[in-house]
Structure 1
């Protein structure tokens, strides 16, 4: 029987190489569902004809008005966050007309793919997403003959921008073919330019290295901080350059900080499970910290997938009566996956079977396969704007430490990732109280320690309204922060960063739980970095007395310093 299944998996793994990891069956099902329902809905088709006529008339009126006045009122505005047609050049004709025609066409196709009676919501989302991707390909901003900025650059350089763009393309294609990082990433080397906060690796197993950072203050708060990053990327997003390192900031405020650095798994790790990551990751780190600093509670902090895993571990600890945690902090981490945002477009039974076949064949999900899906979610920012700048304008997108980190990704073991997608995304076991740890449910409502939860306004991976659902799941005091920025830039929000703002409010365990939109209205906007608010919150939930900094590791307990930070796992390719 397994041999028969292997035939199907092999066939799908081969197909994945031609489809970029997207299941053609899932796309076909969505398209068939939408098209057959649209074909059987004459009322919807008449509505679309009516809207097409209205939009055509609106565009004609705009063109007529623009022929006689330079500041003719627009018939449609770009959606929030769409900056493709910003700039004075786009206000001039005929470019303004191109932009208006495209935006009206985009709006009409939104009406075509939405509101068709009888279509499964998931299929509707998939069709709308695919239609948007196709439309974006034909945006006038992506065409060298209809983008005024490209035309101006071409005239100014005599076409030199296209030669420079072609050289950029050749260089990028060469790096992609040889699996090298993008241009400029070599300027940000872990241990030299980023991840430079001093510390030592004090524990290592097959899955993690645990780093203890060196103190910089004469006294420290007694309760240490443990950081559990996502294992989809390298840990040092929270220890980037010295100026925007959260680890360095915490150490400078008198916190003893530990951070997990995850191993980059290979094909030999295909059978690692989600529970292995809990036991060999979170629990091993907690046990090590307890050995180094006995009888001290821990401020546990998790980011993205690391936050979800930490929530599971915290719920299991609460169920077992283990009181090692002082607080629980979650950065852009989901615990309820009923509304996980557009990432759910790539997760349904058909797509999951396709992904499993890909991972079964290789033993892991590679970084490039994941990166493609994330880029499609924000294709205007992550794909098309970059192509226009690099290849049409002939300019290089400046590399920074966050972009270099983003290119330094890791792999996902076959069994663990399949479990994660099935049990959390599809079955939503954690929110439903059905996620089992050691034969008992890890119910989030058992968590009683104070929680600090951060969502970001433009998060395309963990939408803040999804992160907010922790209010309905945990029976604890929850301080929720909504910060400006996206999934990564909103978390890397150091004090002094221009334009940063956030909202913050606390719901006590016995208090009234507001809906996300009610919360948004009630919570006032504050200027500055939420790091400062979090650090004050950590201090308020720590002991009143500061103590002398602890030693690095615990030699008498068999925990010597093994290596300098950032360790060895961060360099695994």
Structure 2
């Protein structure tokens, strides 16, 4: 055994005894890695040849964005010099403070991480003077780079947004926590295991490259720990109807009586429906069934090239409209209440406008979770929406017939890179550990494809040109869509920290429809703000019965409520749910059960 001296001249931080690696085991591991690497290279070559190297964001666009930023910066060298001088002045303050601390003085840090920054939670980042110096140097450099990049003059608003986003990706990637030699936890693990953690981490990386066929797909959870219908998506029910685009699930009642009007749930097709049915304790589906609703849910297909020509209006005709007809055939009830999530809400509100034009009032209430109808300010996703990038996506989809689910998944993960990318890089590759079994992250890894024609329509008409908010801006199945004609009561649920559907953008929906509205602002983000069970005491929610044009004005007059918003919604919809009738079992003579829930469509993985 070696002595207990810290490596690289670092001050003593109670590091463990250094272990030497087992040479025979190391040789065996490296031999296995070499064999797997050969197979990986072959997969990578085949992927490149088949056009499988498409990335969102496109590296060329990222490079061009930074090139424009550099050109603008160089046009004003005085401003750049001033930024550099300010950095060096503050850096010297960090250096002097660290030197004094190493000599035994008690010194306050010059720069601190944000309160919610989880990267520097290890005690060594505070207790060890060297690591504290590394941390402060990084935080100072990151702040300077970000401030300099985002203060560039002469760029348009969209370019400025791209610069800010890509700069944040860069400074997050360069964090000292992401490197073995500057992460105290990784150093400690390396010394304890004799470097076994790094060998295991290399094996984990090769596994992820293998799964991604040459592209790195970081594993976030134990993918073998979950099985649909066994320990996720377990609420009992049947598939009672299907079209090429969806299966319609009806859930088994748990009460003797149910509300007369069934409840239809329309999830987004950009990911799988079972975020609403992860487990009994946090399943919105099970909770709704237990409240006495006859619950139907659309499970969208994971499309392949055969469905490339399916358009947004096909999701209307073969999706929501077909589901309404099937519910009538199953229950005999023409009228329903409906819930939709994110992109599903965009479709639901389009469906309501379509039905309004047809003077069809089958949907008696609509509830929209984190749904944008006005895409004028879509948040950070706008970084990926411009003519050049849409053309690249369309070119790729024309070749394959769809957009890979991993492309969209990568985009969403980049919105929270430290939590959804770099934390797993550290755990899996540097610490050499397997990720924990976590149902939410299993769902997050279960990506879905986008049919080429539908996705192009959605990107251009919603995000790029914001036509849904315009009366007659889009036409579906021959009907001009006008949200003003929707007189149905609408309940909007948004989340205050939502990065995918910013709440101030979703609030604009209250100004676009023609009927009574209710807007509720939950805590947390796009998922936790919605999946906040009735028994939960977390987050709370805000309400305000006045709906001014300004979201900020609405918030200023809002009231804070404790706990989950679920019971609040139940009271709102109960008045629209009809009297109680005997509980209905799944299926009917017209729509006999086809298979058990959760059905086969949701089990198609990419």
- TM-score norm. by structure 1 comes to 0.90
| 8 Å CA contact 1:456, 1:482 repeated in 2 | yes
Of 230-239 and 455-464, deviating more is: 455-464
1:457–1:484 Cα contact (<8 Å) kept: yes
Q: After TM superposition, which residue ranges in structure 1, 4 or more long, deviate above 6 angstroms?
A: 13-16, 178-181
CA distance in 2 between partners of 1:210 and 1:553 (Å): 10
Partner residue in 1 for 2:587: 553
Q: Kindly tell me: are residues 286 and 155 of structure 1, through their superposed partners in 2, closer, same or farther at Cα, counting changes over 3 Å?
A: same
Shift of 1:316: 1.9
1:299 aligned to 2:360?
Answer: no
- Is 2:604 the counterpart of 1:572? yes
Question: Does the residue aligned with 2:484 lie in a helix, a strand or coil?
Answer: helix
Equivalent residue of 1:494, what SS?
coil
Is residue 454–residue 483 contact of structure 1 (8 Å, CA) maintained in 2?
Answer: yes
- Is 2:178 the partner of 1:139? no
Map 1:38-49 → 2, pairs under 5 A? 38-42=73-77, 44-49=79-84
SS at match of 2:365: strand
Alpha-carbon distance in structure 2 between the residues aligned to 1:448 and 1:293: 25
Q: In terms of mean alpha carbon deviation, does 337-346 or 253-262 score higher?
A: 337-346
Q: Structure 2: how far apart are the matches of 1:492 and 1:425?
A: 26
In structure 2, the CA distance between the partners of 1:361 and 1:14, relative to structure 1 (3 Å rule), is: farther
Q: Provide the C-alpha distance between the structure 1 equivalents of 2:433 and 2:71, rounded to a whole number of angstroms.
A: 46
Aligned to 1:122: 158
Residue 325 of structure 2 is aligned to residue 290 of structure 1: no
The answer to whether 1:63 aligns with 2:98 is yes
Moved more, 163-172 or 112-121: 163-172
Q: 2:515 aligned to 476, 479, 502, which one?
A: 476
The answer on 1:94 being equivalent to 2:133 is no
1:548 is displaced (CA, Å) by 1.1
Which has the larger Rg? 2
The 2-side partners of 1:506 and 1:327 are apart by: 19
Taking the aligned partners of 2:50 and 2:418, their CA distance within structure 1 comes to: 27
User: What's the counterpart of residue 58 of structure 2?
Assistant: 23
Give 1:103 deviation, angstroms: 1.2
> Structure 1 152/467 Cα, relative in aligned 2: closer, same or farther at 3 Å?
same
Residue 197 of structure 1, aligned match among 229, 235, 245: 235
1:310 matched to which residue of 2? 348
Contact 1:201-1:567 at 8 Å conserved across structures: yes
Q: Which moved more, 1:364-373 or 1:450-459?
A: 450-459
1:266-281 mapped onto 2 (5 Å cutoff): 266-281=304-319
Distance 1:231 1:19, change over 3 A: closer
> Given the superposition, is the C-alpha separation of residues 158 and 130 from structure 1 closer, same or farther in structure 2, using an over 3 Å criterion?
same
Q: CA separation in 2, counterparts of 1:171 and 1:136?
A: 24
Change (3 A) 1:236 1:381: same
Aligned residues: 554
Which secondary structure state, in structure 1, belongs to the residue aligned with residue 540 of structure 2? strand
Deviation at 1:181, TM superposition (A): 10
SS of the counterpart of 1:91?
helix
Deviation of 1:18 after TM superposition, in Å, equals 4.4
Instruction: Give, in angstroms, the shift of residue 26 of structure 1.
Output: 3.2
Measured after TM superposition, the shift of residue 219 of structure 1 is: 0.8
Aligned partners of 1:501 and 1:526 also within 8 Å: no
- Asked whether the equivalents of residues 29 and 123 of structure 1 are also in contact (C-alpha less than 8 Å), the reply is no
Q: What is the aligned partner in structure 1 of residue 12 from structure 2?
A: none
Q: Are 2:482 and 1:459 aligned? A: no
Contact kept in structure 1, 2:543 and 2:561, CA below 8 Å: no
How far apart are 1:504 and its partner, in Å? 2.7
Mark the CA change 1:519 to 1:435 in structure 2 (over 3 Å): closer, same or farther: same
Give the corresponding residue for 1:486.
525
Distance change in 2, residues 1:432/1:74 (3 Å): farther
1:493-532 paired onto structure 2 within 5 Å: 493-497=532-536, 500-507=538-545, 511-513=546-548, 515-532=550-567
Native 8 Å contact 1:113 1:127 kept in 2: yes
Partners of 2:445 and 2:543 in 1: CA distance: 35
Measured after TM superposition, the shift of residue 86 of structure 1 is 2.2
CA RMSD of aligned residues (A): 2.6
In the alignment, the residues of structure 2 paired with residue 178 and residue 192 of structure 1 have an alpha-carbon distance, to the nearest angstrom, of: 32
Shift in CA distance, 202/170, structure 1 to aligned 2, threshold 3 Å: same
The reply to whether residue 384 of structure 1 matches residue 422 of structure 2 is: yes
Corresponding residue to 1:212 among 244, 247, 250: 250
Change (3 A) 1:30 1:158: closer
Deviation per CA, 1:191-212, whole angstroms, max 9, x where unpaired? Answer: 2222221112111111111111
Instruction: Please tell me whether the aligned partners of residues 503 and 523 of structure 1 are also in contact (alpha carbons under 8 angstroms).
Output: no
Contact persistence 2:222–2:435 (CA under 8 A):
no
Q: CA separation in 1, counterparts of 2:282 and 2:68?
A: 48
Which segment drifts farther, 77-86 or 188-197?
A: 77-86
Q: Report 1:217-256 matches (<5 A).
A: 217-256=255-294
SS at structure 1 position matched to 2:120? coil
Q: Which residue of 1 aligns with 2:433?
A: 395
Secondary structure of 1:78's match?
coil
Contact 2:222 2:434 in 1 (8 A): no
